Structure 1
Amino acid sequence: MSRINKQLNASNSNIYTPVFVESILKVNIPVSIYLKSADHFDDKYISSTSDSWVFDYSGSRCYAHFRQDKISNQLIKYICFHYASAKCPAQVPGVLHAWSLATDHCISKSAFTFTVLKDYLETQEIKPQYFYFIIFGLKILCTEAFPGFTLEDYEDLEFIPRPHSHDWGIYQEIDHVLDPLEKNMISKGLFEMAVAIRYGENYSLNTMRDAVILGLTYVTGARPVQLAKLAVKDLRIDTRNSETGLIRYSLLLPYAKQRHVTTERLFLAIPAEIGALIRHYIERAQLKPDGKLFEFSNSAPFNVSRAINKAFLCFSPPDYQAAVKRGEAALPTITPTDLRHNVGHSLAMQGVSAEEIAHILGHSSLTVAKYYILATPALALIRAKALGINPVWQNMVAMMLTGELTSSTKWQDQRVVGIIGDELHDGIGGCSRDDGKCPFSEVRCCYGCLYFRPFTDGDHQAVLESVVKEVDELISISDSVGNARNPLISIHETTQFEIQSVIARCRFHQEKGVCDEKTLCAVLRLYHRATKLV
């Protein structure tokens, strides 16, 4: 029987091309996979030395048994490694099963190719959760440019109908939309870098280049081919105030994927911080006005994607960066396509018209923009459940965005003081910045900051009440002027969520007498349920 199994495994391996086999056997899967979202009672690592992964997570024991041929096992393990590092580890067994079914389909077609997998997604009845697991794995294969898979291929997945989406394709789904905490981390990281440069901080040219690419893609949704066509002179200074130092920037962005050849360009305003980063990058690189803004050698999609993920990692929590450096966690996987569709969805959710969305994204028709607008909160909730994104999972991610808990009696360095509304708040925590210069609004922005050290005996509830009061006032003002989708409301709600997470951590610390970086999911669930009932 063992001989028969070996023969079957050998024949199953024939679906892979020799160059793909060579590439997949070279990938590095750490012996211990770091779980960044593990709480106090979860396993902090998954041992990957055998074909059976067993680990405890969220009160359950998870089993993942890899029973395919050697090459398929290596492939699926690599995808599971990325999923455990980037998303909810409890879903790893589901990822394994989804990809086992996908490889079985490839065996029936005698080929493991992008075309076969795309056909599998289009023609087979797949559970919604498994559908997104396969999409996730394809993103890994395309982003890392495995033989037979490219980022151009990944964009071809856009119009595959998602489960229960009535043939509206990717534009009505949220599998490409960034988490609010991820968006908060990106915007704060870019803003902080711009301010640090203004005060004389020196970053390497590569770090600057990566941040500029992330910033441009994040705020404009530009495709890699558009970034490759950018010239230095395409950055424009619209206004400059010598007294305040305020500068307004705009960008002439080339069109891409048009039906007809065009030399016209999009005229887009960009945030001052992004404009300042681009100017500094141009000066550091000593680029000429008629020269290219970015040099991508032979592959713009690959280089843009790599720059985005390197910059994202730079803005990530220190413990996650350390785990990646040790090889225990996977690098983040965010593609230009993800950021582009995030721009489209964000604009639609703010009530922007189809014409404006089409202009910003450089579309020649309103078709895609209308699909963005058709995406409803109800659809978003369904997709979030299918992807395993839930409030408890977001809580665990949020807890990584502040530093260690400490006591006000033990903290000897700089303390945080600030005003929210008409209330002065102090004694809530300390700031661990070396230079003591913070570019953000103190107290208001501290609860989502990596340098913030919350005091376990601080009055965080008073801060929360001040923010809630501001949210209520914002909603009232927005409703009175007919602007129910005021973007400031979502920003304040994110701040409110961050403060609630810190309160839950402090409460758990006081009740249990331990200072742990990860709190119990049950405590968070009960606390947030209580705050909603108040």
Structure 2
Amino acid sequence: MTANDRIDAASSLPYTPSLPTVAMARGGSVFNPQSDHWILREGTHSLELHFDELPEVEPGFKNSFKATLLWYAENHSTRHLANMFYRCKALFAFKREVNHAPVIEITDTDLLNYRSAIGEGSEWYLSAMSGFLRKWAALGLFGIAESAVVLLSQLRLKGNAKGTATATMDPVTGPLTTIELEALQTALNAAYARAEVEKAEYVLCWLLMMLGQRPTQYAALKVCDVVVVHEKDGSKTYSLRMPRAKRRDSDARGEFKGRLLTPEVGALVAGYASEVQTRFAGLLDDPRDAPLFPGKLVDGAIAGFEYHETSQRIGNRIQSAMRSLEVMSERTGDFIHIIAKRFRQTIGTRAAEEGHGELVIAELLDHTDTQNVGVYVSSTPAIIERIDRAVAMQLAPLAQAFAGKLIEGASEASRSDDPGSVIRAPKITGKFDAMSSCGKHGFCGFLKPVACYTCISFEPWLDGPHEEVLEYLIADRERLMAAGDSRIASVNDRTILAVAEVIQLCAAAHEERSLVRD
């Protein structure tokens, strides 16, 4: 008997159900509803519910709770099921603490007391639970008083406030600034070059920073989703068939949306995908069906997802890789707080700053409509309006943008015997005198010395004209700001902070010398 059949069988009086020993969730998981430990897997989502961890409840009430959750398991996603379980668990714990007795029934008084206890800011907890409790009663199950159903139909509860972190540019949970994002990108590249970040995590983090999609979408990716088109002129175009995640059905790969990649990132992803395909040759009939970010073989997984990581695991891999970089935020003076959602917010915010409207932002973030993207258009710009020398000096120690090594002069350079390692800045200083060294072996196509200050191979000289470089960059920024192009003007903001940091390091070194001489 399915949950829908049980609705028809419900009598006018609440009853305590008898649970089946075997049931199938909407996503295909088979489990035992009588057990106190439910394990469900749905594509890239995995869920475990521990009923033995509930506060003290009457056995019949517990069975009714399970029966209602069973209906949700058969008709809704595992994420929604988990939300209902934990929201109700908090309500039961509240009643148990207030009454000092096992929970037997939820009444209107319980709901009103709970609403008062959680406060107006968390009223959405009860709002999220309202449909579940009414479904519980509609199934004819024991445990929900009629007075509670009447109250829920009359209450006007506030939903969860959305977009606050984005609208306020929250420095901990909101969008990243350009300086923060560039710092993470630079640190990630450096860590990968030192073999401190695995290639899978490196690719995953770059895709997150570039596309801002949800972890569940990356978890659902397969090798075959990496598309390389060979153009007639010999060039290559790279794209991803990105699975769409926020859908009402349980098929994580039921619909796709193409996402173009830059040539550099595209080549990286394509090379990595080829390595994964080779690894799965012999394990799968078609190794192109291998997950792009594989995990261990999962027993009882949904067909086609045996080696796929869950969305939670993908999120954890992103956090672990990014947090290991220990990049500082110029806004907080602490390590940048890493959650996948911040990169998604950053994509939306940057698109709005560049003048794109709600339709474009909704497309970028894979929203089915524009009701949740207005906050990006109305949010506060992440660009610092003015950076002068004083501001740069104040922010420099927090941003830690300088990644190189301060040296005395050419004799201390890593490549002191190579004349090509010397860096000059005639456009800035008006002189052809050397000012710094480069420790990098091989060709570098970046503009010297502006791009050098944030490079790990940069070796600025103690008596180099770094003050002149700072003045030049600030003046150029002010000129571009006056022209009305704030996005272009802010391109070198992190470099400005790196130059300011070098100036401070030089001043500290000279002061130390003076103390030694004295």
TM-score normalised by the chain length of structure 2: 0.54
- Name the counterpart of 1:10: none
- Name the counterpart of 1:452: 458
8 A contact 2:470–2:500 mirrored in 1 = yes
Residue 461 of structure 1, CA deviation:
2.2
8 A contact 1:420–1:467 mirrored in 2 = no
8 A contact 1:430–1:454 mirrored in 2 = yes
Larger deviation: 411-420 or 266-275?
411-420
Separation (CA, whole Å) in 1 of partners of 2:191 and 2:267: 10
* Aligned-pair Cα RMSD in Å: 4.4
The CA deviation string for residues 423-460 of structure 1, in whole angstroms up to 9 with x for no partner, is 67763333344x45546443222212233232220001
8 A contact 1:190–1:274 mirrored in 2 = no
Number of aligned positions between the proteins: 336
Separation (CA, whole Å) in 1 of partners of 2:184 and 2:319: 11
Q: What code does the residue aligned with 1:492 have?
A: N
8 A contact 2:424–2:436 mirrored in 1 = no
The CA deviation string for residues 345-383 of structure 1, in whole angstroms up to 9 with x for no partner, is 2222222211111001000111222111111249999xx
8 A contact 1:217–1:339 mirrored in 2 = yes
Query: Compared with structure 1, are the counterparts of its residues 190 and 276 closer, same or farther at alpha carbon in structure 2 (3 Å cutoff)?
Result: farther
- Name the counterpart of 2:303: none
The CA deviation string for residues 6-62 of structure 1, in whole angstroms up to 9 with x for no partner, is xxxxxxxxxxx9999xxxxxxxxxxxxxxxxxxxxxxxxxxxxxxxxxxxxxxxxxx
Structure 2 residue 259 is matched with structure 1 residue 268: yes
- Name the counterpart of 1:336: 340
Residue 331 of structure 1, CA deviation:
9.1
8 A contact 2:224–2:289 mirrored in 1 = yes
Residue 224 of structure 1, CA deviation:
1.2
Separation (CA, whole Å) in 2 of partners of 1:391 and 1:442: 20
Structure 2 residue 382 is matched with structure 1 residue 371: no
- Name the counterpart of 1:222: 213
Separation (CA, whole Å) in 2 of partners of 1:189 and 1:273: 17
- Name the counterpart of 2:61: none
The CA deviation string for residues 219-254 of structure 1, in whole angstroms up to 9 with x for no partner, is 1111111112212222223465877xx643222212
- Name the counterpart of 2:408: 407
- Name the counterpart of 2:243: 254
8 A contact 1:406–1:453 mirrored in 2 = yes
Find the partner of 1:235 among 216, 219, 226.
Answer: 226
Structure 2 segments unaligned to the other structure (5+ residues)? 1-50, 55-92, 99-113, 124-158, 279-286, 299-308, 329-333, 386-390, 416-420
Separation (CA, whole Å) in 1 of partners of 2:245 and 2:478: 43
Separation (CA, whole Å) in 2 of partners of 1:184 and 1:313: 15
Structure 1 segments unaligned to the other structure (5+ residues)? 1-16, 21-105, 125-158, 162-166, 197-201, 321-329, 382-389, 516-534
Find the partner of 2:165 among 152, 170, 173.
Answer: 170
Find the partner of 2:477 among 460, 471, 474.
Answer: 471
Separation (CA, whole Å) in 2 of partners of 1:446 and 1:452: 6
Q: What code does the residue aligned with 1:374 have?
A: S
Separation (CA, whole Å) in 2 of partners of 1:242 and 1:193: 35
Separation (CA, whole Å) in 1 of partners of 2:478 and 2:241: 39
- Residues 435-450 of structure 1 correspond to what in structure 2 (within 5 A)? 435=441, 437-438=443-444, 440-450=446-456
**SS of equivalent to 1:403:** coil
Query: Compared with structure 1, are the counterparts of its residues 260 and 300 closer, same or farther at alpha carbon in structure 2 (3 Å cutoff)?
Result: closer
Separation (CA, whole Å) in 2 of partners of 1:426 and 1:340: 45
Larger Rg: 2
Structure 2 residue 468 is matched with structure 1 residue 462: yes
8 A contact 1:218–1:339 mirrored in 2 = yes
Which structure shows the bigger proportion of residues in helix conformation? 1
Residue 172 of structure 1, CA deviation:
1.3
Q: What code does the residue aligned with 2:313 have?
A: N
TM-score normalised by the chain length of structure 1: 0.52
- Residues 77-96 of structure 1 correspond to what in structure 2 (within 5 A)? none
Separation (CA, whole Å) in 1 of partners of 2:493 and 2:384: 18
8 A contact 1:222–1:340 mirrored in 2 = yes
- Name the counterpart of 2:318: 308
Separation (CA, whole Å) in 1 of partners of 2:250 and 2:396: 48
